[in-house]
Structure 1
Amino acid sequence: MATRRQITKAQVDRYRTGTKAEKSALLDAICQVTGWHRDHARKALRQRLAGPAPVRAPRVPTFQYDQAVIDALVTCWSVLDGPTGKRLRPGLPTLVPTMLAHQELTCPPQVIDQLLGMSAATIDRRLRPYRTGLVATKGQSMTRPGSMLKSAIPMKTWHDWDDTRPGFLQIDLVGHDGGDNNGAFHYTLDATDVATGWTESITVRTKGERIVSAGLEQLRLAFPFAVLGIHSDNGSEFINHHLLRWCDTRQITFSRGRSNHSNDQAHIEQKNWSEVRRAVGYYRYDTTRELDLLNELWPLQSILDNLFLPQQKLATKTRNGAKVTKTYDQGATLGLNQ
């Protein structure tokens, strides 16, 4: 590479003063020696003619936030369980006065003004150092195929759902095996409404058919609206006669996703992490005491996530070649959305 640079440096004066025919011959000679394409050789010579690019002075931010503002931002971010800037920003005008009134946040007025004036992009930049190390681990899949009733339960993909009508749930089980799936351990049954994002959870002792159906009945009663349909993967804990009868007697539509297409259950897969794994981690839970504690946690988690944490939904998605542009609605709690 150094030799090629020396060649272009030595020939740049001839290229500057030469005629069109001389420049063409010079390019042929350089390409033969260096192995370059003619376009690249021409570009290298032109860059030599232009000289080194001017050094741009680093941009100085027009406004600097001191550490007091950042500390207040981190406190608010932690209270709302670490949302992104686009979800955190709309909630600050409500959250900050509430925390000040309960003395959970003590800041002078100028700090509050700067905090409330931050944009979502600035919030994400300022919080980037505090997100370091918050990378999620990955649990094992507990799905075992149930093939006996697949013909009786229709398949649906993500575009078959009516996202505007509350009552259609995606359901899934999260196993608490702690990395060792030997022996018995507990599972958390997770259900999320596609239209609103309202999510309820309950921990069950095993993933037996009757136990899962009983847990699903408790979740059905916990939702603030009528359950009209459920959508699951192809695991045997869901694809069975017991759950099919449970749906038939309650006039609930039962559908399933395609095998090996986890994106058919994209809503509940995301909630498995944000609602369950973030709350209780990847530890092993297999005792009666742990079962009771988990089921004491989920009603409190439901109140926090469904009523107090801002949520966002995808508004539009456009594709221009290989580039996909997504826009989201403004983050708000479910109470504000209603």
Structure 2
Amino acid sequence: MNDVVSISSRHEVVAALRLRYQVARKLDKSKILDEFVALTGVHRKHAIRLLNRDPELHVSPNTKQGRKVYDLAVHEALVVVWEAADRICGKRLKSVMPQYVESMERHGHVTLASEVRRKLLAASASTLDRLLKPNRDVARKRKKKRTRTKSAQAVKVKTFADWNEPDPGYTEIDFVVHCGGQPAGEKIHSLVITDVCSGWTEAVPLLAREQSLVVEGLTVLARQIPMAIRGINSDNDSAFINETLISYCEQQEIEFTRSRPYKSNDQAWIEQKNGAIIRKFVGSERFSGIVAGQTLGALYQSVRLYVNYFQPSFKLLSKHRDGSKLKRKFQSPKTPCDRLLDHSKISREQKEILRATRDALDPVELLHRIRECQAALASLSGTTIDHPDTKSLAEFLSELPTLWMTGDARPTHRQQATKPRDYRTRVDPFVNVWPQILEWLEQQPDVTAKALLERLQNEYPDEYSDGLLRTLQRRVKQWRQVMAKKMVYACLEDADIPSMSIPKTEPENGAGGQPPNPRDFRGISSGVQR
């Protein structure tokens, strides 16, 4: 023992000082504590507890000895009743405890001793909650709070100036949402990937924007793209910046980078393809559901071959600013397939596969399949197609020379044909006085509509406002046109001249009468029926 006594010696010191400490005055207790702490090295509070402890009861003399009222049998019975009551709270359980106990005993589910039943029914709501607290803690299985991972900080930022003519395989990915301008509700998302070097673009539809589906979509796209994916650059969408995609890229040995927030130019390549390919072939309507997803998938299978093998595109060669003007120079337009064939990093075997695939494809047949899928998408979005594109390849080929006359060739972009309105949207304000107006017109054919309206205002005060002048002018104009037609065709008895009298109408919702149909009433005449 150096400065501190051993455990056995400490017990002897406690036994020697305890009696003297308990009967000493306050000032003497402080000195005894100082001596005990210096000798044993224990904490002062712990020393006080040791010296105040009764050696026989092993508790402080000032501590009251409690009694356990609710034993294990009561607790077990309480748990059974609590589970039968669907784990309700103590206050609710207290109110229904007699009914549950009586019902469970009557049906033979439990058999309680009289003492256990008495204690169970006598326990308060707070006591029930206190007894059930350990059971609730285990039953709830509270999950630990998830600590936010620093996924975004772990992904390296790559700006538009950091690409520096990358090799094939370094790609950008993005989502194109097909919501029709209404973000709420279910909708399909297209996962798009483009190779920065060649412009090769692939897409796959996803029914939801979810990180596990993103990994599955990338797995499908990696099998379709003709080169190995060496790098992926995305925006800061949570569907991309997460542990799932980061782990996937680490397993596949893919370099994963992200763009800067709110800097869309960092992803200029994929943003350009979103509009030039996805929106061009799919449109901007809303699509949702499995059928629309399958149709989009079939469309993308034709689009990928048609665009990547037969659709040339420009690629920026250089740009420089001359004062306020920005001058750009572009390479000669090439297809993504041609750019890969000209690149030195593509192996000879890969080039042979690209050439063989291109030679086996028919661009007209691909375009025909694209139009069929677009027609199906248009019908799913509710667009009415006058001439459905369900033609054979020969019929489709025969229509190509004159197809430009019909407007937009893409069914997904055709404007909905508008039908002329042949019904009234408001109650006719002159339906009750029209016979009288016809009489005035017969008497004075050259009278103006303004004079007729003033006459109506004099005879019917507060019924016809000045705002009805334009309506009355149109009616008078129609009347004069019909009267002129009657004069021209007066010599022909079988001339088809419409009657201009107002047909009888039934009241609708107390509005005073249903407006006449313009097909029955096209103008104003003297009211003579042929």
Match of 1:185 in 2: 187
Shift of 1:335: 3.5
Shift of 1:327: 0.9
Match of 2:321 in 1: 319
- Choose 1 or 2 for highest CA Rg: 2
Amino acid at match of 2:268: A
Match of 2:311 in 1: 309
Query: Measured at CA, do residues 187 and 229 of structure 1 come closer, stay the same or move farther in structure 2, by a change above 3 Å?
Result: same
Amino acid at match of 1:276: I
Amino acid at match of 2:198: T
Match of 1:281 in 2: 283
Match of 2:169 in 1: 167
Q: Which of 250, 265, 268 is 1:266 aligned to? A: 268
Is structure 2 residue 217 aligned with structure 1 residue 215?
yes
Query: Measured at CA, do residues 245 and 192 of structure 1 come closer, stay the same or move farther in structure 2, by a change above 3 Å?
Result: same
Match of 1:329 in 2: 331
CA contact (8 A) 2:151 2:241 kept: yes
Shift of 1:312: 1.4
CA contact (8 A) 2:200 2:337 kept: no
Amino acid at match of 1:249: Q
Q: Normalising by the residue count of structure 2, what TM-score does the alignment of the two structures yield? A: 0.36
Higher relative contact order (CA 8 A, sep 6+): 1
1:292-316 per-residue CA deviation (whole Å, 9 max, x = no partner) reads 0000111110111100011211111
Match of 1:226 in 2: 228
Aligned to 1:171, the other structure's residue is in SS state strand
Amino acid at match of 2:332: Q
Shift of 1:251: 0.2
Shift of 1:333: 2.1
Deviates more, 1:282-291 or 1:325-334: 325-334
Aligned to 1:188, the other structure's residue is in SS state strand
Q: Unmatched 5+ residue regions in structure 2? A: 1-147, 342-530
Amino acid at match of 1:318: H
Shift of 1:171: 0.3
Alignment of 1:116-135 (within 5 A): none
Query: Measured at CA, do residues 148 and 177 of structure 1 come closer, stay the same or move farther in structure 2, by a change above 3 Å?
Result: farther
Over the aligned positions, Cα root-mean-square deviation in angstroms equals: 1.4
Alignment of 1:79-90 (within 5 A): none
Alignment of 1:6-21 (within 5 A): none
Amino acid at match of 2:158: K
CA distance in 2, matches of 1:324, 1:147: 42
Shift of 1:163: 2.2
Aligned to 1:213, the other structure's residue is in SS state helix
Alignment of 1:83-98 (within 5 A): none
Shift of 1:322: 1.4
Shift of 1:148: 4.1
Match of 1:294 in 2: 296
Shift of 1:238: 0.3
Shift of 1:195: 0.4
CA distance in 2, matches of 1:147, 1:203: 28
Shift of 1:177: 1.0
Shift of 1:202: 0.3
CA contact (8 A) 1:171 1:230 kept: yes
Aligned to 2:320, the other structure's residue is in SS state strand
Query: Measured at CA, do residues 177 and 147 of structure 1 come closer, stay the same or move farther in structure 2, by a change above 3 Å?
Result: farther
1:1-38 per-residue CA deviation (whole Å, 9 max, x = no partner) reads xxxxxxxxxxxxxxxxxxxxxxxxxxxxxxxxxxxxxx
Q: Which of 196, 211, 216 is 1:194 aligned to? A: 196
Deviates more, 1:321-330 or 1:202-211: 321-330
1:114-147 per-residue CA deviation (whole Å, 9 max, x = no partner) reads xxxxxxxxxxxxxxxxxxxxxxxxxxxxxxxx98
CA distance in 1, matches of 2:273, 2:303: 12
CA distance in 1, matches of 2:171, 2:164: 11
CA distance in 1, matches of 2:214, 2:337: 30
CA contact (8 A) 1:314 1:327 kept: yes
Q: Normalising by the residue count of structure 1, what TM-score does the alignment of the two structures yield? A: 0.55
Aligned to 1:311, the other structure's residue is in SS state coil
Q: Which of 236, 239, 242 is 2:241 aligned to? A: 239
CA distance in 1, matches of 2:149, 2:262: 14
Query: Measured at CA, do residues 323 and 280 of structure 1 come closer, stay the same or move farther in structure 2, by a change above 3 Å?
Result: same
Percent identity among equivalent residues?
36
Counting matched residue pairs gives: 193
Q: Which of 150, 156, 160 is 1:154 aligned to? A: 156
CA contact (8 A) 2:156 2:256 kept: yes
Shift of 1:154: 0.5
CA contact (8 A) 1:162 1:195 kept: no
